[in-house]
Structure 1
């Protein structure tokens, strides 16, 4: 059953009601929404926002952090994720180049709560209505514990104001934009965003293209759930879908299938080692199959990936 903040959604769609003001890519599982450790003065001066037209109304923006999608059209701008707060002026300028003037932000969809996807919320949330799964609002509005440190909540201007449980549709720029929750995967609040008319899907961090993924076990994630979510996406999406991963270059469903094969191979490999009584250190020493050697150059190397799989399977 779809549960949304109906009044806010109706107001936003029908009347545009006013809001009240209020180092290279870091590891997403370590990123606080406003983590000054990663983003001190000048830290993002060298970042260039790369803009790529994917299809239809949808463009992909790459900078530092998770990939951004924007829908540009007569209704204004719908944005998916927003990287880090210090990059907001550069992101806004890149979008202004697409809109040929000051962009009219209407909606901002968060695919999950990690700071490399939501750090800009307090800036863009002053103009756009933020949409996310209910667990994203819960995590962004309260202190979170991660690896022994406390991550402060975002300012209230950065909290989602439209939340849902299973799915919600936004009818915007001439197409249905379906936001679909995938449970217990990368975190406990993941969604993918399907621009149905343009044939584009933002996968959030349910897809890392060309690298091993981060799975935030402390944030409600689970390796087997992650693999099941990718399988569900493959089954539900049209064969010609163009994919925007959470990290890495734009992709296709065939490449997502290869990613899913890597996930299931990893799970079965580690499960077999566990059944044979091997320790994590022995599993890491044995390593991943050679065909996956190129995937360890991102946030997560082979040892850490095997550690994540092992931790998820043995909790």
Structure 2
């Protein structure tokens, strides 16, 4: 038997060698793998591991956990595919009741089916909705929709504005801490806040089955989608991918192990995540390098910082195009924004990241002062009940600070300086950050006040 296998392998090796010798032309790109996608208009079911299945072809990928407690749906796809998604769920769990929906992002291709899928389910309540002791009970039978609080804020629209989403599609069970824990279908489910494409991304880790639903954080069919107005940034995407690498564990020869369901594309393992992280980081660093060298936007475009990744992640239409244009938008400019490119390239929304109108005061010792465009940062160590905490204080750009009434330079604050800062606290208390409105150094009386955008 071994000899037969050896002979077969030898024959394959000879054929492969012969093919190389007779090849007369090399393709324009040496490596451009064909990534199969569900583009036939149907929703396809992929059993992943244990209780977990993946639905592809519904817009964004959908993760399904089915078991004795019922069904948990992570992301709900587009509005157009919701009936097919419900049919697929019924195929996976014919008698299963949808108990929870988790939104990892608020993009339409991830929340489009929220309303119908939630209304098709039923949450197990401790008391009936009409019980006068329960002020926040659901008023109708439906599955509970879980998300980070900023997703709810944007889906429900600010006061005085009209939401594009029906109220039944809004999350009704939000969290604002670092994570939310559930025990569902006989396994721990950890829902983690990981700011990336927006300030509201979540990762969902099914710990016994060892499957992570990553949502918009990773898309092996495209360059990353990043919404600056919603608090997203390319640096957060890199940090989010590093977090994903931290919780994934490879099996033999770096294959399999923890499985990752991305927002789009095929099922992944840790090595795939590492490859994607390197791509995003390399492109970010190239753009930042161009800015440090004083290159203009046109010059950075001409240098084609995505060139070697275009065959793999670029498109001729849609959100990312090889020509770097989308409805007239220069996408490389967007990347420059996300890489922290400079004041000419704008910045993220403070409203999305900080509690407007609120004030917080913090005192600590300077560990790092980053004086740069589009925002400067002061990293300080704060003692809380005898335990040190690191806080990040966001300031204006170096251009703004140097031109202010009380000029600030890169040497104004030094390592070891004790300072007191006042400003708007971050929406996520666990993030330990403040947008600076005033700052003072008691030892010599130096202080600064102002509002910079």
State the TM-score, normalized to the length of structure 1.
0.79
Deviations 1:59-108 (A, max 9, x none): 1101242110000111111000001223211100011111134x410000
- Shift of residue 288 of structure 1? 2.9
TM-score (norm 2): 0.56
CA contact 2:58–2:85 (8 Å) conserved in 1: no
Q: How does 1:1-315 map to 2 (within 5 A)?
A: 47-101=41-95, 103-126=96-119, 127=121, 128-142=143-157, 152-165=163-176, 166-183=178-195, 185-239=196-250, 240-288=257-305, 290-293=307-310, 294-297=312-315, 299-302=319-322, 303=324, 306-312=332-338, 313=340, 314=342, 315=347
| Contact 1:213–1:305 (CA under 8 A) maintained in structure 2 | no
Which fold has the larger relative contact order, with Cα–Cα distance below 8 Å and residues 6 or more apart in sequence?
1
Q: 1:195-221 CA deviation, whole Å, 9 max, x = no partner?
A: 111111010111111421111111110
How many angstroms apart in 2 are the aligned matches of 1:248 and 1:152? 30
Using the TM superposition, give the Cα deviation of residue 296 of structure 1 relative to its aligned residue in structure 2, in angstroms. Answer: 0.6
Aligned residues: 264
Deviation at 1:306, TM superposition (A): 2.9
Structure 2 Cα separation of the partners of residues 124 and 285 of structure 1 = 46
The verdict on how the C-alpha distance between 1:50 and 1:158 changes in structure 2, with shifts beyond 3 A counting, is: same
- How much does 1:125 deviate? 2.2
Q: Structure 1 residues 159 and 305, CA, compared in 2 at 3 Å: closer, same or farther?
A: same
Larger Rg: 2
The separation in 1 between residues aligned to 2:66 and 2:158, in whole angstroms, is 34
- Superposed displacement of residue 114, structure 1: 1.1
Between the aligned partners of 2:242 and 2:148, the Cα distance in structure 1 is 20
Retained in 2: the 8 A contact 1:88–1:120? yes
Flag structure 2 segments of 5+ consecutive residues without an equivalent. 1-39, 122-142, 251-256, 325-329, 348-453
Report the Cα offset of residue 308 of structure 1: 2.3
Higher relative strand content = 2
CA RMSD of aligned residues (A): 2.0
CA distance in 2, matches of 1:109, 1:295: 27
CA distance in 2: counterparts of 1:141 and 1:125, whole angstroms:
16
Tell me the CA shift for residue 188 of structure 1.
1.1
